[in-house]
Structures are given as C-alpha cells and as structure tokens.
Structure 1
Amino acid sequence: MANGSTTTGTPHADPTGAAAPTTEVRRPALSPSRASDFKQCPLLYRFRAVDRLPETPTKAQVRGTLVHSVLERLFALPRAERTVEAARELLRPTWSELAEESPEWRELFTDPESADELAEWFGAAEKLLDSYFALEDPRTLDPEACELHVETELSSGVLLRGYIDRLDVAPTGEIRVVDYKTGAAPREIGEAKAMFQMKFYAVVLWRLRGVVPRQLKLLYLSDGQALAYTPDEAELARFERTLEAIWQAILRAGKTGDFRPNPSKLCGWCSHKELCPSFGGTPPEYPGWPEPDAGEESALDRAD
C-alpha cells in the first residue's frame, strides 16, 4: 500500500487524459468535496469534475475563503500576537492578495453601491473572526499544520486527496482535526455533509500515520457553535469501504456517461439547474471519461 502526503503546486492532469510533455500528470483522486457531490447528485459531479463547468462564487463563499486565509495567517504569528485585533488587521491585506490571485472576485463588488456593500462585507467577516475568538484562544494552541494538503492510497488502489484546515497534535501523539465553517451550524443534510468531510480526513490520517484521530472538531463561526466527534477504528474501516464504493460507482458512470440527476432541496443552490433534465434542461454532450484529476479542491470548496 503506497501511502504519503503531498504538497501544493503539483501539476494537474490534462483534461484529455494525455500527459503534457514537460509536466507530471497526477492520478485521478477522490476528494471530500467531489465524493460529497457524487453522493448528493451524480450529474453535479459530472458538471464539476468532468465537464468542469464554471461557477460564479457567492459573496458568502468568498468571505469564507477570506476568513480561512486570515486564520491560517494568524497561526503563523507568534503565540502572544494572535489577538482578535491582529486578525482584524489581516483582513484587508489578505483580501488584496486573494483578489489579485482571483481578479474575478472583485467583480462581485462592481455595482454603484459597492463601497458600502464591501464595508458591510468586511464587517461580517470581522464578526466571524470575533466568533472564532469566542470559541477558542489561539494563543494557547500550537497547530502542527494549517491548510495541510494530504494524500494517501488505500489498499484497494483508491487515491484520496484533500486539505485539512488545521491539524493539532498533542505531546502524547493524539490528533485533532479542526475545520472552520463560516455558515450557520447546519442541521440534517448539512451536518451529515460536514461530518462526511471530517471522516474522510480521519481515514486519510489513519492510513498515513497509523493513528485514529482522537477528535474531529467543527467550529461554526456564524453562530458560535462547536461540534466535536470521536471516531473509532471500526467506524473508519466502514467509512473507507464507503469511499471505495463511491469511487467504483464514479468509474462505472464515467465509462457509460450515465451520471443521473438526483433532485433534492439542495437543487436550489445549484449553479447548473438550467442544464439539468430534472428542470427541463439538457446537459452538454458527454465528452467521454477523461480520467480527470477530480481530487483537487478549490479554496471555495474548502471554505464552505
């Protein structure tokens, strides 16, 4: 079984499946976001991972990405400097860097009242940071890593890949996985989706390090709630089989192009309803299974 972690910056697979002459082609992998997409709606998976249709981010998604980036930078400071004032001061320079990397994000604030709207948007981001400090004191923590890119291959050959918001390791070796959510604490479907993501990370760390994480912790910054969960080895073994089954279902759908829609109340948030047969639309012609590198998650995927 080939296990290992990777760093960011590895070249993506060519959408056609052909290797570029001067870059390494990464193997297709399963990420928590794309696995969750397929579970929710196979057609959504196809639109995002195979067709790679563009999606316009919402202001809330971009704000979540900003807050995640600020918290990552906050933990790069010495302990004593990790204050709420320092976090607030990081907001605007971090936004400038993110907007430079993704200029289209600035287009979200191009209307005549954008100055006032942007000020309100920053104010909402400040409230999320205030909520974080009400949940925990970063001056008491020394994470092993923030925004950790992890990758492991299961014995079945399925490659898992993802990013962990924060990894805490105690002197005793116990592992805690922490994920920041910038929306309100979800119920029913939302909470199950969030815990699916956390169990995914737990399986990856278990296979990489041989240790079952002691705690999976979700911090909901919108309403100041925290959810903690302790998995066990038997549960993670079952979840690992679930991930293998999802990947096999993806490969079967990829060979035939049979990615069926699965209508639900989540359809109201889908960017591709006009192309969905469930809403009278027609998907683009299936391009064929290109062995896409669907494991790479964007910052928007991770911000939630």
Structure 2
Amino acid sequence: MRVVTVTEEEGQATEGAAAPRRRPALSPSRASDFKQCPLLYRFRAVDRLPERPGPAQVRGTVVHSVLEQLYALPAAERVPETAHRLLQPTWAKLKELPELAELFAEGAGEEDWLASADELIDGYFSLEDPRRLEPEACELLVEAELPSGVLLRGYIDRLDVAPTGEIRVVDYKTGAAPREIGEAKALFQMKFYALVLWKLRGVVPRQLRLMYLSDRQSLAYQPDEAELTRFERTLDAIWQAVMRAARTGDFRPSKSRLCDYCDHKAFCPEFGGTPPEYPGWPEPDPGIETPLDRVD
C-alpha cells in the first residue's frame, strides 16, 4: 500500500511548467455526488459543467479561509477582533475571481452578507478558544491508496494531534446543523478522512468533530477499526461502479428532492433535457475538489 501527504501547492504546476497529469481519485464530494446521482457526478467530474456558486457557499469559503489564516498567527493573536479584521481583505481577494463577479450586482446585499459571515466567526469563538490549540495542520490535502487500488484524496479543515499521539479531525460547517440526510452526508465525509488518516498513519482518529458555526453546535463521533473497514468496502464498491459507468458513459440520473438544488436540470433527462455527448474518461484527475466543494 502506498500513502502520501501533499500540500495544495505541491499539487499545482510551477510557473511555466505543465500541470501534472494525476491519476483519477475519489474525493468525499465526488463520492457523495455519485451516491446521490451518477449523472450529477458525470456533470461535475467528467463534463465539468460550470456552476454558479451562491452566496451561502461563497460565505463558507471565506469563513474557512479566515479560520485558516487565524491559526497561522501566534496563539495570543487568535481573538475575535483579529478574525473579524481578516474577513474584509479575504473577501476582497476572493471576489476578484471571474465566477464571483456577479454575485452581488452593484454591491446589493453585500453588506448584509458580510455581516452574516461575521456572525459565523462569532459562532466559531463560542465553540472553542483557538488560543488554547496548536493544530498540526489546517486545510491539509491527504492521499491514500487502498489495497484495491482506489486512490482516495481529500482536504481536512483542521488536524489536531495530542502529545500522546491521539488524532482529532475537525470540520467547520457554515450551514445549519443537518437533519438526517445532511448528517449522514457529513459523517460520510468525516469517515472518509478517518479512513485516509488510518491508512496514512496507522492510527484510527480518536474523534471526528463537526462544528456547526451557524447553530453554534458541535457533533463528535468516535470511529473504530471495524467500522472503517466496512467503510473501505463501501468506497471500493462506489469506485467500481464509477469505473463501470466510465467505460460505457452510462451515468444514470437518480431523481430526488435534492434535484431542486441542482444547476444542471436543463441537461437532465428526468427534466426533459439531454446531456452533452460523453467525452470519455477525463484527464487530468476527476477527483479534485475546489475550495467551494469543501465548505459543507
């Protein structure tokens, strides 16, 4: 079994060099897409159809970035006032991206939106004091190859390691605490990270912690080896199904109430649409996630 930890920068091409051609991988977001609807997986991972991020999704990305920057500071500086000061410049940099140019037409609603991001930051500080913590890493990109050959890849919001070696995986959620479906999706993501870390370090994380900043609630979960072994078989089965669809292009739609939130109804047969011609299995990596994917 091969395991590797890489930084985000190592996964990108250096200036003037060609982008690395990385083998296909399975990420938590893409695995969740395929479970929800194979055609959605195809639209996102194969066709790469554009999606317009909404204010809530972008707000999550901004808050995640603020918390990452906060932990890069000396412990004494990790106070609410510092985090709030980081918000405006973080947003100013992010909104230069072309896909966000029309998020707030002529600034309409932007002030209230920033105020809601400030509230999420306050929600974070109500849950813990970052001055008392020294994470091993924030926004950590990890990879692990399973014995079956499936390459897993994901980003961890924060990794805490105790002096005794016990591991805690922390994930910030900027939406409301979920109902049953949302909670299952969140735990799927956290088990994914736990499995990768177990393969990478030989230690099952002691705790998986979900922090819901809006509701100011934390959910903690303790996985074990037997559970992660079963979860590994689940990921193997998902990837085998992805590969079968990849060979034929037969990514079938799965209609559900989640379709109400899909950007791609115009291309979906369930809503009278026609998918683009199947372009074949993509290169480079169809498992890659963007910061917008990782916020919730």
How many residues align? The count is 292
CA distance in 1, matches of 2:247, 2:284: 13
CA distance in 1, matches of 2:48, 2:149: 24
Aligned amino acid, residue 206 of structure 2: R
Task: Please name the residue that 1:185 is paired with.
Answer: 177
Task: Please name the residue that 2:105 is paired with.
Answer: 110
1:247 aligns with 2:242: no
Note the alpha carbon deviations across 1:148-181, whole angstroms, 9 max, x for none: 0101111111100010000000000000000000
Note the alpha carbon deviations across 1:234-280, whole angstroms, 9 max, x for none: 10011011111111100000111110011111111101011111111
Compute the displacement of 1:96 (Å).
1.6
* Equivalent of residue 128 in structure 2, options 133, 136, 140: 136
CA distance in 1, matches of 2:12, 2:112: 37
- TM superposition score normalised by structure 2: 0.96
* Equivalent of residue 76 in structure 1, options 69, 72, 79: 72
CA distance in 1, matches of 2:264, 2:258: 12
CA distance in 1, matches of 2:124, 2:48: 34
In the TM superposition, 1:217-232 aligns within 5 A as 217-232=209-224
Task: Please name the residue that 1:170 is paired with.
Answer: 162
Contact 2:22–2:284, Cα closer than 8 Å, also in 1: no
SS in 1 for 2:4: coil
Aligned amino acid, residue 197 of structure 1: Q
Contact 1:49–1:292, Cα closer than 8 Å, also in 2: no
Contact 1:41–1:263, Cα closer than 8 Å, also in 2: yes
Contact 2:3–2:199, Cα closer than 8 Å, also in 1: yes
In the TM superposition, 1:199-214 aligns within 5 A as 199-214=191-206
Contact 1:177–1:213, Cα closer than 8 Å, also in 2: yes
Aligned amino acid, residue 245 of structure 1: A
Once the two structures are overlaid, the 10-residue window that deviates more, 282-291 or 157-166, is: 282-291
Contact 2:156–2:170, Cα closer than 8 Å, also in 1: yes
RMSD between superposed Cα atoms in Å = 1.3
SS in 1 for 2:135: coil
Contact 2:21–2:283, Cα closer than 8 Å, also in 1: no
Task: Please name the residue that 2:7 is paired with.
Answer: 7
Contact 2:33–2:40, Cα closer than 8 Å, also in 1: yes
* Equivalent of residue 59 in structure 1, options 51, 55, 61: 55
CA distance in 2, matches of 1:110, 1:126: 21
Note the alpha carbon deviations across 1:121-153, whole angstroms, 9 max, x for none: 110000000011001111111100000010111
CA distance in 2, matches of 1:26, 1:177: 26
Contact 1:50–1:292, Cα closer than 8 Å, also in 2: no
Unaligned runs of 5+ in 2: none
CA distance in 2, matches of 1:142, 1:65: 22
- TM superposition score normalised by structure 1: 0.93
SS in 2 for 1:5: strand
Moved over 4 A (4+): none
Contact 1:11–1:25, Cα closer than 8 Å, also in 2: no
Aligned amino acid, residue 64 of structure 1: G
Unaligned runs of 5+ in 1: 13-20
Compute the displacement of 1:23 (Å).
4.5
In the TM superposition, 1:6-45 aligns within 5 A as 6-9=6-9, 10-11=11-12, 22-45=18-41
Aligned amino acid, residue 5 of structure 1: T
CA distance in 2, matches of 1:276, 1:60: 25
